[in-house]
Chain A
Amino acid sequence: MTKSVFLGTVAAATLFAGMGMAQEGSTLAQVKERDELNCGVNTGLVGFAAPDANGNWTGFDVALCRAVAAAVLGDSSKVKFVPTTGQTRFTALSSGEIDVLARNSTWTYSRDTDLKLDFAGVNYYDGQGFMVRKDLGVTSAKELDGATICIQTGTTTELNLADYFRANQMDYTPVNIDSNAEGEQQYMASACDAYTTDASGLAATRAAFADPENHIILPEIISKEPLGPAVRHGDNNWGDIVRWTLNALVAAEEYGVTSKNIEELSKSSNNPEVQRLLGSTDELGAMLGLDAEWAKRAIQANGNYGEIFAANIGEQTPIGLARGLNAQWTQGGLLYAPPFR
């Protein structure tokens, strides 16, 4: 009897699972039904995602989650932030635990194809750099032959480092570390000559040192790290929503739409592109299954791309990142939102 009960349970579980697969349809419908967006974020990365003393999340990636929630649900606070680690992030997305992953994840070929993710664009162009102590006398990464280097294991940075040194026929001794905090500590304790991670992380780390003037970030950027939000394969409408929310934030900056003047512009702007973007004319929202003012709400949530950048990681913040590659294409950067029409 025990056996038949067991078999019955297995059969029932399979049946339920099958039904579940069948039900798994529109992410948009699920989010609306739940009235909450499940957004996967970093468990804590300076400037990109961090909970404050009251548990409110802020940061560059967090702002994107809020913008999507504002576009879809009309309220930027209807987000459940699901903290994900480097190991759990992609599984959490493909298993449906989260609707969108905004966790400074690098858009790579294998992640896009083999892991069955869809990257909805790039919200931050990063690249891997090196930090060394000034008294080491090194001014270029090419002079790092034979150095010991602190490197976070299990990340793309580890592979980039190996590639770079092999390409330049140099040797190095890796000091494996588990987290950014540990890396800083090892570097401060002189366990390694150089510390390597994404340039944005290096800037934040250096800014937090007691003596930032004694450390320099070397000019070489040895890898391309386009960080962007990702969604599951298979639900193209949902991917479009995330992609165009990001594009709306970028386009808003290009057209000078800010959270301050957006109300005014939505009534009085003469620019037809702005009118379409803000839903004053045409019904672009309906094509996504949203209402006309979706992009307006997304921009109102935290401002346009430039405002989000300035508030979280820009030069006025302790992290102090320059726009660099992340400037608009009109300013010599790579941000280029396709036209809204």
Chain B
Amino acid sequence: MRLAVSKPPKPLVSVKDAQLHYRVGSAFSAMRGHSSVVKAVDGVTFEIQKGESVGLLGESGCGKTSMGRLLLKLEEATGGEIEFAGDALSGLKGPALKRYRAKAQLIFQNPFEAVNPRFTIRATLAEPLENAGIPAAEREGRIIEALELVRLPQPQQYLDRYPHQLSGGQLQRVVMARALILQPDFVVADEPVSMLDVSVRAGVLNVFRDVRDRLNLTAIYISHDLALVRYVCERTIVMYLGRIMEDGPTEDIVHEPLHPYTKALVAAVPVPHPDQSHDPLPIGRGAPDPRNPPSGCVFRDRCPLAFDRCAKEAPALRPAGSRKVACHLF
């Protein structure tokens, strides 16, 4: 467990007021004024220090995956600024973009979708090496090394196999090996174990933790499951409808959530014990609608504590003790 440094050095990743707005509906309906804008990410600001692991937590449609794609420049922000090691991502092109690609990597949710089914494991892992200009003679060694790093026993036996010949857990390790093969500084993991069977999940999570510590990686772990986020991240950012609700040390969030949404989220996580609270959740029914969010605070229509001000004014993300909260109550 790393301790927060009192005077933070320059952050590795800095996100300032990032926005990703989509226009939905056709050009024709736009002319008639029918199209609407979906704000997948709407004014998100945070910083990540080198070596920090941050969980991006939220329900589906909260913008956590879009945020991950913005950070990897798979999607172009429609507003705000994202910087990596002091360079703005929006300006990266050509060789500079290629260098960034080698430093920032993604681990996917579904390992069976993340690899080309026509490619052998060897060809899959060779692709980033080719792109980085690693000489052909060195590649085989690097591939074996990466597979050993993710604890795939006897890696040679997998090289000439095709993805469908591997189990989900094995393939997810291959996907991790591909992300790590160029020794990146920054890794975004998007729900990497949600498609895996329970008995192999723990193995993949342990490898992730282990590799992160060994390579001193800066990591973002995207998930809807606070229990998993808690297992791999010391800090958690809670998102709802494209905005940050709460940002702080994971243990504090687990034991004493501040934001009403975080409270509901923490209470909703089932635990593998018979003795647990069966109290109703402190949250309204219904689902967030990204096309039509409420005015003011986006959570107010499901919030049990909402009052007049919540409808008029969107709360800013303000410091509250060890963390930051976007709620008028703090």
Determine if chain A interacts with chain B: no
